[in-house]
Chain A
Amino acid sequence: MSVLVFIDTADGQIKKSSLEAICYGAKVAEMSGTTAEGVVLGEVKDDLAALGKYGVKKIHHISNALLNHTDSQLYAKVIAQVAQATGAKTIIFSNNVNGKSIAPRVSARLKAGLVSGAISLPEISGPDFIVKKTVFSGKASANVSVKTETKIIALNPNAYKIESGEGTAEVVPFNADITAGKIKVIQTTKASGEIPLTEADIVVSGGRGMKGPENWGILEDLAKVLHAALACSRPVADSHWRPHSEHVGQTGVAIAPNLYIAVGISGAIQHLAGVNHSKIIVVINKDPEAPFFKAADYGIVGDAFEVVPKLTDAIKKLKEVAS
């Protein structure tokens, strides 16, 4: 009956989106009168027992070097084995990069209905199990009913708050049937110290109003004082001013940070789709008619090249006072 949470790691460290999935899973377990267990694949550096403070009671750890890189084919087989051995009826993933490749495979393997992109807790009443998810790239949400006995939810990053209390998880090894995967990783490139866009609490984003890639320095400075990730609009990525991985919007990445600061972005409907789940939106644009102001919480009508450095200084001052 238990709830099983897939705990995703990168370089042996637990991802923030997995902590969200654990907290969410613990709440779902509480709602269904059961407990949450976790599954971790590959060798880890972090202390798994400490994850108990997020509400997970037991962690099944398959510490096998063959699982150090995510291969969805291999991972789905192992997670399905754990789900069957523990009798889990609800399986939680983060709808992050790995979740998007593994959850569908586990769904097909166990013939368990999957809701990907979940943004709130399920509504459970009798046999009904309904989960809210984003659709139309964030322009709307939908309530989806899962009809199978085993249910799988892939939770959007930043959609559920991390809360910690007291507790230690029991970490147990799990004997899984593992054969080498077919995907051979040849290189991993990671910008060190950079915050992954989908996990960032604050995102600073630039559009065509920045006039060229050489002007990104002022946005980088702003992002630095806020510990924010950088993003951009589609025309910026298409013009190769910034990498495609920073493109947020309907045909790029969808994000839901606490704070989204858009500089020199007019706010086309396709861009809004990817960011309108942000909790607070700030728009800086010199055109008072820019459609983005209609979707914003706060705004400044002004020249980005004058406003942004002043804004950065003001934040620096605030942080100095606070420390």
Chain B
Amino acid sequence: MKILVCISKTPDTTAKIAFTDNNTKFDTNGVQWIINPYDEWYCLVRAIELKEKDASTVIHLVTVAEADADPIIRKALALGGDEAIRINTGSNDGYYIASQIAEWAKQGNYDLIFTGKETIDYNGSSVGGMVAELLDLPFVSLATKFELSGSKATITREIEGGEEACEVDLPLVVSCQAGVAEPRIPNMRGIMAARTKPLKVVDPVATEALTGYVSFELPPAKAGVKLVPADQPEELVRLLHEEAKAF
């Protein structure tokens, strides 16, 4: 069993969001970088759990990023990957990133490719589906449970207002969210072992970005809260009905 876990470097969930260069670039000043939570908490941890059940499982991590992503790759390796591949290029276009991952995956013969349901910076939720299409593989998105028995995966995925359970033969691409696994923290042994695990740096293949970020905007500030006394909820109902026209 060979698993490819796609990971991405994102700002910490508490990072202050600001922009520079006339609102054309994300202001990275003072930003702490983390592994995209969906990639770490669910994809990577589930892959590690599968390896704990079947020791012959090999976990590769892949990221499309420049050298400043190395610290988060080492952290991922400390949690449990066997080997990491960094495709040495920076981009925020989903197709460009997916093309790089698909090219790598073609030569890797992976049985299973995990991606997070989205990254918490650009919220594209598109790389997993694109990788699946470029490799002509089935894609199950927004998984909340993932079980494996031989070469058959049983997956529960989110649908509007409910859940759907399905069976698919490997190989396939799955995007994961809460429910697939519980977050872990790396232990000292893992951190030590990560130092000597291979981190391969490979050159990107020639492809193009189909979209480009032109500018960013912060939401307009709220006018301020209108407080209603706790013993007058009917006044709140009146405001919501007549002023806000919320119902």
A residues whose Cβ falls under 8 Å from a Cβ of B: 10, 15, 17, 69, 71-73, 76, 95-98, 100-109, 111-117, 130, 132-137, 139-148, 181-191, 194-199, 202, 226, 237, 244-245, 247, 250-252, 254, 258-259, 269-270, 273, 276-277, 279-280, 282-283, 293-303, 306-307, 310-311, 314-315, 317-318
Contact = CB atoms under 8 A, between A and B. Distances in A.
B199 interface: no
A301 B230 contact: yes
Interface string B72-95: 000000000000000000000011
B133 interface: yes
Interface in B211-247: 211-219, 222-223, 225-231, 233-234, 236-237, 239-241, 244, 246-247
B140 interface: yes
Interface residues of B, number: 82
Interface of B: 11, 13-14, 17, 19, 37-38, 41, 94-95, 98, 117, 120-130, 132-134, 136-142, 144, 154, 158-169, 172, 175, 177-179, 209-219, 222-223, 225-231, 233-234, 236-237, 239-241, 244, 246-247
Given A96-B160, A181-B138, A244-B178, A113 B95 contact: yes
Given A73-B132, A104-B129, A202-B246, A298 B213 contact: no
B247 A226 contact: yes
B233 A314 contact: yes
- Secondary structure at chain B's binding surface: helix, strand, loop or mixed? mixed
11 contacts: A10-B159, A107-B210, A111-B210, A137-B123, A147-B212, A183-B166, A188-B164, A195-B161, A259-B240, A295-B222, A300-B236
A195 B167 CA distance: 27
Contact of A72 (B132, B169, B241): B132
- Secondary structure at chain A's binding surface: helix, strand, loop or mixed? mixed
Given A191-B161, A199-B160, A250 B13 contact: yes
A100 B94 CA distance: 13
Nearest to B162: A190
Given A76-B133, A144-B213, A300 B162 contact: no
B213 A139 contact: no
Given A191-B161, A244-B178, A259-B240, A135 B210 contact: no
Of B158, B211, B214, B236, the most chain A CB neighbours within 10 A belong to B211
Given A115-B211, A181-B138, A298-B240, A187 B123 contact: no
A298 B211 CA distance: 39
A114 B225 contact: no
